[in-house]
């Protein structure tokens, strides 16, 4: 996430929470900031937890998990499972490429999703696709 975006996103989080009259503790704000700073990397719960420990050594895994789920419920982030491990993701419709051998997930641009939607339409399949995960071994070219 670009730095400029980041403060906007955080403002968005706090606005959405106050609309729902949810209380945001300083601890939750710090955890949310950590989560948002890692969303582009598709970080796992464990990675987010480790990062959170650097600023909040006493925080528990369940608090980190609950904060992720709160941000997901507010539609600020998305989550999905890869090999039974939760990963965080951006919410716009896109294709994720999972390089199994490198344990890395990268995003394809939004045009790729449009193309796939068009191809499916040719087969009479009209879908509102939210997320695609392509799972494989990435080979250096």
Question: 98-117 mask for Zn ion (x: CB under 5 A)?
Answer: ---------x----------
Give the shortest CB-96-to-Zn ion separation in angstroms: 4
Residue 96 lies near Zn ion (rule: CB under 5 A):
yes
Residue 72 lies near Zn ion (rule: CB under 5 A):
no
Residue 89 lies near Zn ion (rule: CB under 5 A):
yes
Give the shortest CB-112-to-Zn ion separation in angstroms: 12
List, as one string, the DSSP characters of 53-114. Answer: HHH-TT--HHHHHHHHHHHHHTTSSEEEEETTEEEEE-SS-EEEEEETTTTEEEEPPHHHHH
Residue 78 lies near Zn ion (rule: CB under 5 A):
no
- Cα angle 59-61-62, degrees, rounded to a multiple of 5: 100
Q: By CB under 5 A, name the binding residues for Zn ion.
A: 89, 96, 107
């Amino acid at each position: 996430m670009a730095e400029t975006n980041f403060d906007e996103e955080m403002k968005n989080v706090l606005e959405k929470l106050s609309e729902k009259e949810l209380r945001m503790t300083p601890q939750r704000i710090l955890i949310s900031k950590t989560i948002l700073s890692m969303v582009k990397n598709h970080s796992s719960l464990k990675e987010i937890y480790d990062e959170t420990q650097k600023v909040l050594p006493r925080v528990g895994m369940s608090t980190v998990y609950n904060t992720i789920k709160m941000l997901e419920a507010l539609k600020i982030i998305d989550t999905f499972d890869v090999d039974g491990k939760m990963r965080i993701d951006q919410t716009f419709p896109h294709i994720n490429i999972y390089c199994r051998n490198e344990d890395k997930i990268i995003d394809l641009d939004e045009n790729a999703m449009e193309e796939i939607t068009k191809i499916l339409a040719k087969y009479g399949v009209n879908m509102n696709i939210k997320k695609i995960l392509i799972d494989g071994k990435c080979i250096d070219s």
